[in-house]
Amino acid sequence: MFKCLILLVVLAVVSAEIHRIKIHKTQPKKSHHVARHIAKKVAIHVLKHELRHWVGETFNYDDGYDYSNDYPNQDTDYTNEELGNSMNMYYYGEISIGTPPQYFNVVFDTGSANLWIPSVQCLSTDVACQQHNQYNSSASSTFVAVNENFTIEYGTGSVKGYLATDTVTINGLAITGQTFGEAISQPGSSFTDVEFDGILGMGFQQIAIDYVVPPFYNLYEQGLIDQPVFGFYLARNGTSDEGGQLTLGGTDYNLIDGDLTYVPVTKQGYWQFAVNQITWNGTVVSGPVQAIADTGTSLIVVPADAYTKINELIGAIYIQGEWYVPCSTVDSLPVITFNFGGTNFDLPPSVYIQTYNEGEYDSCVSTFSYIGTEFWILGDVFLGQFYTEFDFGQNRVGFGNLA
């Protein structure tokens, strides 16, 4: 009996093995103006074709479930992949596709649901494609043709190409028969001069182009992870090698201080949830309002009725498309508080105002942006302050203070 107990303990330890997905970051080498341009063109790609289904809609959700219970428990097996961070503008990690593996950096994007990467068949005039790694189907023994085109609409144009099926591997977890997009044409300059090759969507299948099954669904359905849960830690000032971590299949409690606050998803598609109130120094900025947690958006996107209000409250002045704040006032500004799930989540001014060095002087710029939505998009500026868990199994999003 004792030998059996020891065996069970050993098996439990093996089952709880942690796999980490590394997030990468590029150190800022560009001026404020160039950095902000890159930030916006990457952030605003959230204006995908499916966005039109969300603007102007309000959702209520109550399934009667008690979300106060922790789920999953600390013994759950999970996989962690470390991520990279590019100028605090976007976070990306490495995957491979095909046999033998072909390697790509992708943004793990909770604001979309498709995987696409550049194709070796892309146009010679496609600058973005020529700058990045390209998938060669003829070099993979596990490639299967789908014989179907795909198009993903972005705010600046369309990504077009073919659907393909192959083995997609994330940190050693090999998904067989994963359908993805081979992009032969990318829009304008939206994906030029960026560190990632493509996008790996982690939203719900309801917003996937052609209703393709997202990679995370297959990770769970093929038994590669134990729980339909993933979480992000986004290091805000990390290096290209220490940009944060993506956890697959469970919760990494080593990254969390205290308990997670869970809120139910109000409609499956994006990771959308209800925010009770957003306040700044006692002034109500917005609420009740809907918000989405989007790792594919760099900034904080604000509805029209709150956009000018919040920027004026923080003392920003609108100059040539940007809201500038006097750098001398930043340290004395109050926090902005987001209340949801019965918990306050504070962002200090050093977070919601970004400082760029211009050689002999600094520029301080508001991260509150507007792109035409009627809900808030909590991008990396917000998510980088917390551990964020996305739970397909219980249809909820969890937020916790970082350890």
Q: Which sign does the torsion angle of CA 216, 217, 220, 224 carry?
A: negative
**Would you list the DSSP string of 52-92?**
GGTTT----------TTS-SS-TT--EEEEEEEEETTTEEE
How many residues does the structure list for the chain?
Answer: 403
Out of 109, 252, 380, 391, pick the active-site residue. 109
d(CA 59, CA 310): 24
From residue 150, alpha-carbon distances to 98, 132, 210, 375 in Å are 20, 20, 8, 28
Let me know how many helices (H) and strands (E) the chain has, helices first: 7, 27
Name the token pair of 221: 């359905």
Q: Is 62 a catalytic residue?
A: no
Q: Pick the catalytic residue from 197, 226, 252, 294.
A: 294
Q: E-assigned strands of 124-228? A: 144-154, 157-170, 173-185, 198-201
Name the nearest CA neighbour of 116 among 190, 51, 173, 44.
Answer: 190
Structure tokens at 236: 């805000």
d(CA 238, CA 241): 8
How far apart are alpha carbons 135 and 96 in whole angstroms?
10
Q: Residue 32 in contact with residue 358, Cβ under 8 Å? A: yes
Percent of the chain that is helix, strand, coil (3-state, to 5): 20, 40, 40
Stated as kind and residue range, the H or E segment containing 380 is helix 380-383
294 catalytic per annotation: yes
Please, which contacts does 302-306 make with residues 24 or more away whose CB atoms are closer than 8 Å? 302/368, 302/369, 302/370, 302/376, 303/370, 303/373, 303/374, 303/375, 303/376, 304/370, 304/372, 304/374, 306/278, 306/376
- Closest C-alpha among 266, 268, 272, 273 to residue 341: 273
Rg of the chain, C-alpha, whole Å: 21
Q: Mind telling me the catalytic residues?
A: 109, 294
